[in-house]
Structure 1
Amino acid sequence: MKSKILTVFSAIFGLLLLNSGLDKHFHYMPIPEGLPEEVVKDNAAFMEIGWLLPLIGLAEIIGGLLIIFPKTRALGALIVFPVMVGVLLTHILVAPEGLPVVLVIWAILIWIIIDNWRKYLPLIGK
């Protein structure tokens, strides 16, 4: 039962990442009204660095696809981890109103990492 719940949450998380990554390339989602000024400034800075948003989007697309499938979920979690650190820090420091949703997403990511812990041991020499 626990593994089925994780599979459902992982699929939702993977699809969320896939959607976010695709939007960074195709810009099909409207920008929400009333964003904090610092978020707008941060996004403008990302746009100035022309290669950064496509790179983040690519990591989200690849990581999201890998997280959807149980066999590749551990690798997907490693790929999206740095992106998710940025999302968490943004919501802690700049836009705390979105923090509850980010914490739920982080709980899913941590669950995926814990569930795949044995696969990571060779990376740290164990």
Structure 2
Amino acid sequence: MKNKILFVFSLLFGLLFINSGLNKIFQYMPMPKDMPEDMMKVVEAFGAIVWLMPLIAVVEIIGGILVIIPKYRALGALMILPIMVGILLTHIYNAPSGLPIALILAAVLAWIMIENRHKYAALFR
């Protein structure tokens, strides 16, 4: 039962990151009009670094796909971890209204990583 629940959470988590990555490339979801000024500065700064958003998009897409596939879930979680840290820090400092969702996503990622901790053991030897 636990494996089925983990799969459902991993599927939703992976699809969310795939969607986020695809949106960074194709920009099919409009930016919110009521975005805080601090967030607008962050978005403009990221946009000034031409290669940054495509790189993040590709990592989100590949990481999202890997998180869905049980055999590669640990690798996908490692790929998404630095992006998740950035999401958390952005919502802590610039857009606190999105912090509850960011914390839920961080908890799902932590659960995925804890369930796959045996695969990470070799990294710490």
Provide the C-alpha distance between the structure 2 equivalents of 1:98 and 1:24, rounded to a whole number of angstroms: 18
Code of the aligned partner of 1:24: K
Provide the C-alpha distance between the structure 1 equivalents of 2:45 and 2:31, rounded to a whole number of angstroms: 16
Q: Deviations for 1:48-68, whole angstroms, at most 9, x for unmatched residues? A: 000000001111001000001
Tell me which residue corresponds to 1:98.
98
Tell me which residue corresponds to 2:119.
119
Provide the C-alpha distance between the structure 1 equivalents of 2:44 and 2:94, rounded to a whole number of angstroms: 14
Q: Deviations for 1:26-68, whole angstroms, at most 9, x for unmatched residues? A: 1111111200101111000111000000001111001000001
How many residue pairs get aligned? The number is 125
Aligned runs of 1:1-126 on 2, under 5 Å?
A: 1-125=1-125
What is the identity percentage for the equivalent residue pairs of Structure 1 and Structure 2?
58
- With normalisation by structure 2, the TM-score equals 0.98
Question: Unmatched 5+ residue regions in structure 1?
Answer: none
Code of the aligned partner of 1:25: I
Code of the aligned partner of 1:44: E
Question: Unmatched 5+ residue regions in structure 2?
Answer: none
Provide the C-alpha distance between the structure 1 equivalents of 2:104 and 2:3, rounded to a whole number of angstroms: 18
Provide the C-alpha distance between the structure 2 equivalents of 1:59 and 1:7, rounded to a whole number of angstroms: 20
